[in-house]
Amino acid sequence: MPLLGADQVPKGIGVGVIGLGMGRNMLGINQDPRSRLQVRAIADTSEDALAAAERSHPHERLATTTDYRELLDRDDIDVVGIYTPDHLHFRHLSDALGAGKHVICTKPMVVSLDQAKATVDVVRGSGLKFLVGQTWRFAPRWMAAKKLLDDGDLGRPLFAEGLYAHDMRAVFDRTSWRYEAPQDFMYGGACHPFDALRWLFGDVDEVFCYASASGMDARYPAGKHDNFLINLKFRNGLIARVMAVYGLVEPPLPMNSLAVYGSRGSFVHDRVVFDKVLRQPEWRLTFRPETGHSGEVLRYMRHFEECLLDDREPEVGVVEGAKCIAVCSAAWDSVASGMPAKVFNDF
């Protein structure tokens, strides 16, 4: 499918959304006068969700369907956003690429190393653009951490941490597929800090993981792991740890957090200390009010639009997505063996 030049899209680049959970955040791009992206069609298995989206956007004349294949058949759709349950991503992204559509796929890209390898092959063979919606990379706080690191303000990285702690019981109430499928929280949860740390420090060479089953919610299969403690060793020699826990009482902590400890300073969530400042005062970074996931989704949509118009690869392309899935896969290998496991990076 040819790339879209600015002179080819006077009325916008047509977008279709499959899955109106987090996918509803894509609809906000229609209110951005700077963007050429325009959501034109939405698909969801729930007629109630479709009706709610129509009521929320009464002036946009959205085409709706409960069959995503009807959306893929539309000639006015150039880009498809996939926000369906994790285990359906591979089927849906494959169908969308096969229909000649560029794809934005929410995290996790897929749910196995074999699917990750196959996705890389499909995307490369299609010649189409593909972005994984890893929201942490588009959150101002973590963008600030990367800027400080890349500019040398933190010095040489010495150690890092990632935290994602989320009591899932209320989420189960809203999305029953997570316990019916059930969701694999290594892929569906730990992928967030894994990807963020890879973004900061590059390829992971080896992981060691402990896992446990909390039994906090009787709806989630008994014995299925939902809490993880993972040590990472990067190819550059850096070591890090990730706490990814989902079976717990919501802790009095930020739901997600990053920490980077360097030879010139340390960044922990929203606080920074620079060694060069006398007595090392702690500075807190404050940002203008954020819009959470909706703002992050709109940022990566604008980034994807630029990639379409300028013919360049998205920052979180298919190989980045696959390498994150490979870390998840290696962590499961470590749980099974009780030993460190090597990460596949040869995509």
Residue 165 pairs in a beta bridge with 245
Is the whole-model pTM more than 0.85?
Answer: yes
List, in order, residues 6 or more apart from 211 with CB less than 8 Å away.
186, 225, 227, 228, 229, 335
pLDDT in tens, 297-309: 999 999 999 999 9
User: What span, in angstroms and rounded, lies between the C-alpha atoms of 67 and 44?
Assistant: 7
Q: Where are the domains of the chain?
A: 6-135+295-315, 137-290+324-342
pLDDT tens for each residue of 117-169: 999 999 999 999 999 999 999 999 999 999 999 999 999 999 999 999 999 99
List the chain residues with pLDDT less than 50: 1-11
Please state, in angstroms and rounded to a whole number, the distance separating the CA atoms of residues 241 and 99. Answer: 40
Round the CA-based radius of gyration of the chain to a whole number and report it: 20
| CB half-sphere exposure, 191, CA atoms < 13 A | 29
Locate 147 and state its tokens: 């800027």
Question: Which CATH number describes the domain made up of 137-290+324-342?
Answer: 3.30.360.10
Q: Which fold has domain 6-135+295-315?
A: Rossmann fold (3.40.50)
How far is the C-alpha of 108 from the C-alpha of 125, rounded, in Å?
21
